[in-house]
A and B are shown apart, each in its own frame.
Chain A
């Protein structure tokens, strides 16, 4: 009996957590469907083609996984910062710098066993991302400068820094005499293993999933996670417990930046095997959307990143089958986020869960 009640509670909780994202996605798909009709297409056909392209075969599933990996990691990066009440919108820049750090380690013929070389490259990626966010972190924690501005600005600095680094003529890690701006090839020992042979699905996806689980555990079961959630929940109350908020802000931002750096590292040593100029089509920004859709829950990020990854993977198939532009997926993505942040939907969930608790919202003393 006891366990049955617990199970019901759990199901109910999961249900209320899923209401907002699922309804948002459904609404976004409906509105986009109208757009397709306006463009004289058939929405069902288009979505069918998209589904086929995203999950119709082992190959398309692998493509979905490949597309999911970077935004899963940047999504986690953004989510962990959101949970601590910090708005790191600089995952894009941290991803680039992380990628550059990982590249330096990965292209070096270190003569190490593969496993260790890969770990070192990933570690370098983490360090690079963390370093890139260290400046905004210091400014936010000890000088009160808004991290939204500083992290965002450093995105551009980071992107152009990488352009300089891999310049074929002047760049310190650029491949000499190459026709493109690119780094040298990643050593065989530094490459992430491919999960399904014949596809490009690499172990970065497992890294992301493992990290999501680890972050979920961190937030729920560790003292550090408790501090970060306290900081995100009410920074003033955190201060009144004697907590050193500045330090926690720095820690949260370093973790966040490091994970974004991992996303860059994963792309280099898992998929592209070189550092290219402008290799990210905005994974860092997509991470914000992914985190928002997941309401900053690490496990939720797995789902939301997969959804956006599947959209991307299915976009080409949709275009081939129906002639509808792939940019439709950007519209779907944007609409989804709009519905997520749409107040009444959240309000409905809030009142429902409040009523379940058998209480009136706000407590009685707030009324007069």
Chain B
């Protein structure tokens, strides 16, 4: 086996795979892969391998380099150095086409399907027909159905893809890869889009595929899922491998310290005096998603002055709708929302009432083509001192920007820099500065640290904590549990549009949160979090 394998190559002891060749040669070995983007080292001497029949989880926070590594494997990007061995043969993968012909299949986070074509047509798309120029579908259909049956991947081959559910589209993507003869299957955060039941099904399929001797790379940043399905775990952080170990030997605390690089080192500061004045009140609030399916289901929640309430949950369980309802950006179909006793409609236009850090910086939080100064007054431009009699006062806007750049340590050449030139962390600081400058009574922060590096995470969380200490009520929505536990005074868990329960941010209660995230209801003693 590999000479440089300082971490990998453990005996597969305790690994729940069914194949017996415990000394099998590795299917894939990526050796000392390095990839830079400008100053950023996305992959730094990463060594990664997959055995036949192994489900190998690639774990790491957003921006840790997981996707880059897999893009290199799939031929979408070329490494600056390092080599890739498949079946112990050195290969160069210059394009996805070459990757596919080498037996590598990838299911992207965003599906690569043509909505107007049927499932079957999508499968044969790009595979040459047995009888060119005619499109031969009889044999492909038979092959597809056989594959589907063998792997419990139920699919209707004749339905146009746009009619398929997200889960079915994912099954189709897997089938597509199998149809092209994938021996090594990369699943890029496959569970992010799935309902819990579907996650279970997916895991069963993954085990079936592994049992046939295929290698599976499972990308995720969710500990519970990785624990549940994988045989081995490799953790990436800031582009480096921080550890690789059999799943059986991995405890959540080991993994999270490998991922985060600090034992949830965001030390808890003892909560300040809890004002008991409720600022945000939700009572039996329901709403619909964009697709007109139920979004929130009778949610009741109260956030008080000087308190951070963390909202945990797998992405897509109603967090987005919750935030938009509170901000008055989404109509509610039932219940009542009050911010300091007022309805949310127009709250964003009221001075000092609501600060909103939206989950998607680029799409929702910034105007990329505006400069830093303009983005800092995106909400306040029409008020004094930035405006008088309908005219903007650029000298005030600019000097305000200079102050904020200094106060929030926004790294940029100056107030006239277009904001899309800034790094993610600095963009986020622009938003935080803007949304907190008027000392809002309520601050709603949705995934405020997503995609940021560790340093930026710290400073953004510290800014949010500062708001709480000032006396603001804070609702912090995040999928990152360590972060929620570090800064929240109370954590509520969302699942399928409901609040499953609340726990104090005590690390020993992580398990309960995980259970609730999966949809289990837990009787929580004390701390009635959802008090109306």
Of A62-70, A169-177, A326-334, A357-365, the segment with at least 4 beta carbons within 8 Å of chain B is: A357-365
A-B CB contacts (within 8 Å), total count: 111
Please tell me if the beta carbons of A234 and B420 are within 8 angstroms of each other in the complex. Answer: no
Query: How far is A354 from B38 in the complex, measured between Cα atoms in Å?
Result: 14
Contact with A along B399-434 (1 / 0, CB 8 A): 000000000000001000110111111110000000
Contact with A along B343-354 (1 / 0, CB 8 A): 000111100000
Determine the chain B residues whose CB is within 8 A of the CB of A239 once the complex forms.
329, 364
For residue B467, give the distance in angstroms from its CB to the closest CB of chain A.
18
Please tell me if the beta carbons of B413 and A358 are within 8 angstroms of each other in the complex. Answer: yes
For residue A248, give the distance in angstroms from its CB to the closest CB of chain B.
12
Determine the chain A residues whose CB is within 8 A of the CB of B327 once the complex forms.
240, 242
**Closest residue of chain A to B347, judged by CB?**
A242
Given A358-B413, A361-B421, verify A233-B368 contact (CB < 8 Å).
yes
Please tell me if the beta carbons of A242 and B349 are within 8 angstroms of each other in the complex. Answer: yes
- Residues 265-302 (chain B) with a chain A CB within 8 angstroms: none
Of B88-96, B157-165, B208-216, B377-385, the segment with at least 4 beta carbons within 8 Å of chain A is: B377-385
Contact with A along B38-52 (1 / 0, CB 8 A): 111010000000000
Residue A5 CB within 8 A of the other chain: no
Query: How far is A357 from B419 in the complex, measured between Cα atoms in Å?
Result: 11
**Closest residue of chain A to B387, judged by CB?**
A223
Determine which of A237, A359, A364, A365 lies in contact with B364 in the assembled complex, contact meaning CB atoms within 8 Å.
Answer: A237
Category for how many chain B residues contact A: 35 or more
- Residues 320-358 (chain A) with a chain B CB within 8 angstroms: 354, 357-358
For residue B145, give the distance in angstroms from its CB to the closest CB of chain A.
38
Residue B497 CB within 8 A of the other chain: no
Residue A146 CB within 8 A of the other chain: no
Query: How far is A240 from B375 in the complex, measured between Cα atoms in Å?
Result: 13
Determine the chain B residues whose CB is within 8 A of the CB of A229 once the complex forms.
367, 370
Determine which of B38, B39, B367 lies in contact with A237 in the assembled complex, contact meaning CB atoms within 8 Å.
Answer: B367
For residue B360, give the distance in angstroms from its CB to the closest CB of chain A.
8
Residue B390 CB within 8 A of the other chain: yes
For residue B379, give the distance in angstroms from its CB to the closest CB of chain A.
5
Of B60-68, B131-139, B222-230, the segment with at least 4 beta carbons within 8 Å of chain A is: B60-68
Determine the chain B residues whose CB is within 8 A of the CB of A358 once the complex forms.
413
Please tell me if the beta carbons of B365 and A240 are within 8 angstroms of each other in the complex. Answer: yes
Q: Is the interface of A mostly helix, strand, loop or mixed?
A: helix
For residue B221, give the distance in angstroms from its CB to the closest CB of chain A.
13
Determine the chain A residues whose CB is within 8 A of the CB of B417 once the complex forms.
357, 359
Residue B328 CB within 8 A of the other chain: yes
Residue B366 CB within 8 A of the other chain: yes
Please tell me if the beta carbons of B451 and A365 are within 8 angstroms of each other in the complex. Answer: yes
Given A233-B368, A240-B364, verify A363-B420 contact (CB < 8 Å).
yes
Can you show 30 pairs from A to B with CB atoms below 8 A apart?
A223-B381, A223-B382, A223-B390, A225-B392, A226-B374, A226-B392, A233-B367, A233-B370, A234-B368, A237-B364, A238-B367, A240-B327, A240-B356, A242-B348, A242-B349, A358-B413, A360-B39, A362-B420, A363-B420, A363-B424, A363-B427, A364-B37, A364-B423, A365-B63, A365-B423, A365-B424, A366-B424, A368-B40, A368-B64, A368-B68
When A and B form their complex, which 5 residue pairs have the shortest distance between CB atoms, in order from nearest? A242-B348, A367-B37, A365-B424, A233-B367, A368-B42
Where the two chains meet, the residues of A that have a C-beta atom closer than 8 Å to any C-beta of B are 220-226, 229-230, 233-234, 236-242, 354, 357-368
Query: In the complex, given contacts A239-B329, A240-B327, what are 16 additional A-B residue pairs having Cβ atoms less than 8 angstroms apart?
Result: A221-B394, A223-B382, A226-B382, A230-B370, A233-B369, A237-B365, A237-B366, A242-B348, A359-B417, A360-B38, A364-B37, A364-B38, A365-B425, A365-B453, A368-B42, A368-B68
Where the two chains meet, the residues of B that have a C-beta atom closer than 8 Å to any C-beta of A are 37-40, 42, 63-65, 67-68, 239, 327-329, 346-349, 356, 358, 363-370, 374, 378-379, 381-382, 387, 390-392, 394, 413, 417-418, 420-427, 451-453
